[in-house]
């Protein structure tokens, strides 16, 4: 074996091995734990005397909350009537908000626009249920 040739290949071989080890470290290292997406679902039963115009105002004000910086998306609507016993279509308005993480939901909970919108809406509510959950 030519000693000069093996000396020239050693730095290249060492670099190749080091690169492979580094690449293997990145591939096998556990991924940084990411926050789970958070869903905030609210179901309201409105007072029987609540007009269609007021329901439209409520749904519009809920949809406007999508403009808040911590809110990713808002889906709002009214029930789909069903003859299936398992389907609860007794509510008036429901919505789901999507947040990046729990911190965004907490920021939303104390936001002045959210509080103002909630106060106006709750004046028409006889019952409300909230479900907060995160993706798995």
Task: Yes or no: say if 133 and 36 are a contact pair by the CB < 8 Å rule.
Answer: no
Give the model's pLDDT for residue 75. Answer: 97
Nearest to 42 by CA among 110, 113, 122: 122
Give the model's pLDDT for residue 8. Answer: 53
Task: Yes or no: say if 80 and 89 are a contact pair by the CB < 8 Å rule.
Answer: yes
What's 124's DSSP letter?
T
The whole-angstrom separation of Cα 89 and Cα 87 is 6
Q: Please check whether residues 129 and 92 belong to one and the same domain.
A: yes
Q: Which domain holds residue 62?
A: 38-134
Q: Please check whether residues 21 and 71 belong to one and the same domain.
A: no
Number of domains in the chain: 2
Q: Please check whether residues 61 and 20 belong to one and the same domain.
A: no
Average pLDDT for runs of 10 along the chain of length 136: 53 62 54 77 97 95 96 96 95 97 97 95 97 94
Q: Please check whether residues 17 and 66 belong to one and the same domain.
A: no
Q: Please check whether residues 25 and 43 belong to one and the same domain.
A: no
Q: Please check whether residues 102 and 66 belong to one and the same domain.
A: yes
| DSSP H or E segment with residue 22 | helix 3-28
Give the model's pLDDT for residue 10. Answer: 66
Task: Yes or no: say if 98 and 38 are a contact pair by the CB < 8 Å rule.
Answer: yes
Q: Please check whether residues 51 and 114 belong to one and the same domain.
A: yes
> What DSSP assignment string belongs to 95-123?
EEEEESSHHHHHHHHT-HHHHHHHHHHHT
Give the model's pLDDT for residue 35. Answer: 76
What's 29's DSSP letter?
S
Q: Please check whether residues 107 and 127 belong to one and the same domain.
A: yes
Q: Please check whether residues 44 and 107 belong to one and the same domain.
A: yes
Q: Please check whether residues 66 and 127 belong to one and the same domain.
A: yes
User: The pTM is what?
Assistant: 0.73
Q: Please check whether residues 67 and 112 belong to one and the same domain.
A: yes
């Amino acid at each position: 074996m030519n000693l000069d040739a093996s000396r020239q290949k050693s730095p290249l071989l060492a670099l190749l091995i080091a690169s492979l080890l580094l690449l293997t470290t990145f591939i096998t290292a556990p991924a940084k734990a990411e926050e789970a997406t958070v869903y905030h679902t609210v179901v309201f039963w409105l007072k029987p005397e609540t007009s269609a115009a007021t329901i439209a105002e409520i749904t519009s004000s809920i949809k406007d909350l999508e403009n808040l910086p911590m809110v990713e998306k808002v889906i709002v609507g009214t029930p789909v009537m069903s003859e299936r016993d398992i389907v609860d279509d007794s509510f008036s308005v429901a919505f789901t908000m999507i947040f990046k993480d729990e911190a965004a939901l907490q920021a939303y909970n104390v936001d002045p626009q959210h509080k103002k919108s909630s106060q106006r809406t709750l004046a028409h509510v006889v019952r409300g249920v909230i479900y907060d959950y995160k993706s798995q």
